[in-house]
Structure 1
Amino acid sequence: MRLEEGSEEWKEMSKKVREACENHGCFILRCDEILPKSVSEETFHHMKALFDLSDETKEQYVTPKPYRNYNGKNSVIPLSESFGIDDTFLLDKAQAFANFMWPQETHLSVEGYGLPQHYISANGENMISTSFSRLIKYKVSESNNEYETVLPSHTDGSVLTIVCQKDVPGLEVLSKTDKWIEVEIPDDAVVVIVGDILKAWSNGRLHAVTHRVVLKGVKERYSIGLFANPNEEMKVEVPDELVDNQIHPLRYRPFAFGEYYSSYVSNPKEALQFACI
């Protein structure tokens, strides 16, 4: 069901989404009407076939942008291999899903702060001018470890991230009490994660949650991450309405997304430090 923007149902949902983003940095979204099960199953079927190609074939996929190549031999994440794809996806319906989700979820995340409507609309469109997808396969370790971290803890260098997975769980988020919590994602749902850019824009009110991927068992895990980003020239700047010198003093100076992204590529764990006040 698509909510009508400005309706009472929309306002109630935006409040819940904002609270989830502030307290947890993520939320579960059921999307069976937007992305039918048949499309999801077909997508993951094609993904498996893609990763089953020979290493020689996969390594021919090379692009100049960070995180957009085939990555199958990384000493930091040796049990992971991935493809990064710019502004595209395997299926038209999945792309339509992404186009639908970005503006709606960004508006829901920030509208609860009472910002002027024209500001939310304009800024939401600017903050999500580009996107890319990452298709990821996590391989089972040959060791006897029952619990294997296959993607180290990190925050995302995006505005928002949408994660889809198939059958095998593994996503964990770090709570504000420093406890790792497994995210249980229903078959007809995705998880939406707040990235560093939305955290900075909201003056730190929205929580960019630290997360990781672990495997417990003997099955490979396939997942898709859809990352929404601004263009490199866009200035990320905290709205005056979100600054309160008593409770919420300004935490981040204005910066261009390209400036942040350079910091993220070189030091992802502390990428926002350069903009701290």
Structure 2
Amino acid sequence: MSSTTPAMVPVIDFSNQNLKPGSPEWDSVKSQVREALEEYGCFEALFDPILELRKVVFGALQEAFDLPLETKKLCVSDKPFRGYLNPRSGLFQSLSMDDACVAENIERCVTNTLWPQGNISFSKTLASFTQLASELEKIILKMILESFGLEKYMDELIDSTNYHLRVMKYEKPKTKDSTHDAHCDSNMMTLLYQNEVWLNGRLPSPTHRVMMKGNEDRYSLGLFTRPRGGYVIKVPNELVDDNNPILFKPHDHEEYLKFYYSEITQAAVKSGGYISRLKAYCSV
């Protein structure tokens, strides 16, 4: 591939009904997952059950973001990257909620604030998406752990996971092409997981950006599978040896997010992005 040829992110199909652990189909997809993550740090996943929700999900997002700004700003949180965010640029806005697999959690964190009279269909729609996306995430996680011989950690990681859902709207570009820091380039659903620390740098975590084109607003969902506050992320002993020294110190991800969000840290490593801040916080 020449230096002027755009990299094509691999597309991996997870919709096969025969995709069961130990089957030839499973082993084939598992190899594709590891190769894609080692080479690109990401891939496009095809998963029919999620695609079937596409129309109703994006309808729910438009309904929420069409509410008055004063109403959306009532969604606040004392934790970083939660509640309603509306940067000064005005081009991007988002709503975030924790434990989004359960409709009642979405109801409590967001829906009851946006619609005091109630809107259970909004909560159920987003919870349905999160449940299906978390199902896909567990398949991918199991494949990654198997490929590194770390299957014994599966239950521990699932039990420690907070399914943090962020729904987003990007305003249509004011110029021909505009680039925003974001997580997808269309009306899309994105699953994000930070492997850099836990796998001791074996799989890269690339920076996500968006190139906005066209004359339409863009809506997207990002499901962040984050460790719960209080859970200490540490590199498994199996991934450390003389040729692969430990790269990161054990840490609490919620404490790291506070560090990431601080003005001092942003000024110190503003050109380095997420990974630079991560290394500043917990590298050995």
Give the CA RMSD over aligned residues: 2.4
User: Given the alignment, which residue of 159, 172, 180 partners 1:150?
Assistant: 180
Structure-2 separation of matches of 1:165 and 1:120: 35
The amino acid of 1:253's aligned partner reads K
1:40-97 Cα shifts (integer Å, max 9, x gaps):
101101211211111122222222222222122x13x531011112222641431320
The match for 2:139 is 104
- The equivalences for 1:140-219 within 5 A come to 140-142=172-174, 145-151=175-181, 165-166=186-187, 190-195=189-194, 198-219=195-216
The match for 1:114 is 149
The match for 1:22 is 38
- 5+ residue gaps in structure 2? 1-15, 101-105, 107-122, 266-272
Contact 1:103 1:124 in 2 (8 A): no
2:244 paired with 1:228: no
The match for 2:8 is none
2:258 paired with 1:262: yes
2:171 paired with 1:139: yes
- Larger proportion of strand: 1
2:268 paired with 1:272: no
Q: CA deviation at 1:192?
A: 4.2
Structure-1 separation of matches of 2:160 and 2:145: 12
Change (3 A) 1:264 1:101: farther
- Larger proportion of helix: 2
Choose between structure 1 and 2 for higher RCO, CA contacts under 8 A separated by at least 6 residues.
1
Structure-2 separation of matches of 1:5 and 1:51: 40
The match for 1:51 is 65
Q: How many residues align?
A: 234
Structure-2 separation of matches of 1:12 and 1:99: 21
**Secondary structure of 1:120's match?**
helix
The amino acid of 1:232's aligned partner reads G
TM-score by length of 2: 0.74
The match for 2:9 is none
Contact 1:26 1:191 in 2 (8 A): no
User: Given the alignment, which residue of 92, 96, 115 partners 1:80?
Assistant: 92
Q: CA deviation at 1:99?
A: 3.2
Contact 1:234 1:256 in 2 (8 A): yes
Change (3 A) 1:228 1:103: same
Could you tell me the percent identity over the aligned residues?
29
Structure-2 separation of matches of 1:249 and 1:94: 39
The amino acid of 1:263's aligned partner reads F
TM-score by length of 1: 0.76
Structure-1 separation of matches of 2:185 and 2:132: 12
Contact 2:93 2:168 in 1 (8 A): yes
**Secondary structure of 1:245's match?**
coil
The match for 1:8 is 24
Structure-2 separation of matches of 1:52 and 1:257: 33
The amino acid of 1:42's aligned partner reads V
Contact 1:203 1:242 in 2 (8 A): yes
Change (3 A) 1:194 1:64: closer
Q: CA deviation at 1:212?
A: 0.8
The match for 1:175 is none
Change (3 A) 1:127 1:22: farther
